[in-house]
Amino acid sequence: MFYRRTIIQLRSWADNPKHKPLVLRGARQVGKTTTVEYFSKDFDTFLHLNLERKADWIIFEENQSAEDVLTAIYLLKNKLRKQGRTLLFIDEIQNSPKAAALLRYFYEDIPDLYVIAAGSLLETIINRKIMFPVGRVEYLAMRPCSFSEFLGALSENQLRDSLLTVSLPAAIHSYAMKLFNEYALIGGMPEVVASYSEKRDWVALRKIYDTIITGYRDDTEKYSKNDTNLNILRHILMYGWRFAGQRIKFESFANSNYKSREMGEAFRTLEKAMLLELSYSTTVTDLPIIPDLKKSPKLLWLDTGIVNHVAGLQQELFGIQNISDAWRGKIAEHIIAQSLLSNNVSVLARRNFWVREAKNSQAEVDFVIQHGSNLIPVEVKSGDNSKLKSLHLFMEQSSGNIAVRFWNKALTKDIITLPSGKKYTLINIPFYYAECLEEVLEM
């Protein structure tokens, strides 16, 4: 296994003397189980339960108290209860509502026990079948690999460290861009990244993509509430990847006959599973961000590599010099969207974009992000500054004076003078620094 930055967050959680049981959320195949197993090396004892196994599941059905359950687990796993730190990992916890309810008693009755719960279908049933004890658990989101983790997997450790400190020498820019383009091509699913780091052959990754997608489609049997809902979920997972980075309408999505209400419900089910995000627009240019849920959302999938595979874009992207030239710029926008969220561990994190509220106006800025007390517009676009018309319109209305543009060139800064006479600073950031946007802005 290669190093995942989630380990930093897990260690921070464990160092807190008042730690609560941790619910690790994330889509299937993003590496939750593997990461927890790696993290378990920090402990004296590791107890791993998988509640898809009957012998593990029945412990929670036959025992009432947290102490009795813990004793039964030690016996089942043939381990001695000894001094030191113990990590209990309950995987596929969605199979046992009793296990979920018992988390509060682990917290109250055995506070020195470290408990992590996870489940590949957890997010779709979290409000339907099981209830986590409010105020007695913590949540942590896990996502596909970031570019820095991709570099670590490729043993580009010095490059990774320089990236994270925003200190890459100018002479390395072309090489860093080449590697980022590879990352944009294959994405960040851990099994895909691990295979690529070993063989450096993107063609050999096709079977892995197919296996991941088949797993998602098989899961729809468990996601769905009825046959209609099942068919809609299958339709989205079959054709929805081709709409990545685009604004969509639920009514008749992807040439279907399904109505807006039932299609929207299916999309929100997959959003709970963290397979995708419905990113909504805002018309404000200052905080707070107020999304307009009545307007068409932008469809963002969990991983750009899967999008490339399903949409048949890999051949177009292979060896490309500027990913902004591919698929009308949508792949560049999508991988930046993925990178902006890649190290965010909040389960509530969302991405928004800006539209101008005016008749016959097509003005749109790819993203808006909060930085301190400022709302900063973010464009993903190469070329000269005259092409950033939507960004200029945003800045005319904004009280802020900083904007961001991601491109394939080096890190630079321009002072832009608008027709009104207002000046603002445009920070031009190479694609590979996307996950470090906060650090760049702090500089």
What pLDDT score was predicted for residue 316? Answer: 80
Spell out the domains of the chain, with CATH numbers in brackets: 6-141 (3.40.50.300), 207-442 (no CATH)
Strands 364-371 and 374-380: antiparallel
Enumerate residue ranges in the chain where pLDDT < 50.
none
The residues facing 155 across adjacent strands are: none
Q: What H or E segment, with its residue span, contains residue 22? A: strand 22-25
Contact between residue 116 and residue 24 where contact means Cβ atoms under 8 Å apart: yes
Eight-class DSSP state of 247: B
Could you give the CA distance from residue 32 to residue 144 in angstroms, rounded to a whole number? 10
What pLDDT score was predicted for residue 125? Answer: 58
109 HSE (CA, 13 A, CB side) = 12
The 10s digit of each residue's pLDDT in 7-48 is 999 999 999 999 999 999 999 999 999 999 999 999 999 999
Could you give the CA distance from residue 137 to residue 24 in angstroms, rounded to a whole number? 10
Strands 402-407 and 423-430: parallel
What pLDDT score was predicted for residue 331? Answer: 95
Q: Would you give the end-to-end CA distance of the chain in angstroms?
A: 33
Full-model pTM: 0.93
Joined together, the tokens standing for residue 252 give: 């008749």
What pLDDT score was predicted for residue 221? Answer: 80
Could you give the CA distance from residue 27 to residue 272 in angstroms, rounded to a whole number? 9
Residue type, 389: K
What pLDDT score was predicted for residue 358? Answer: 75
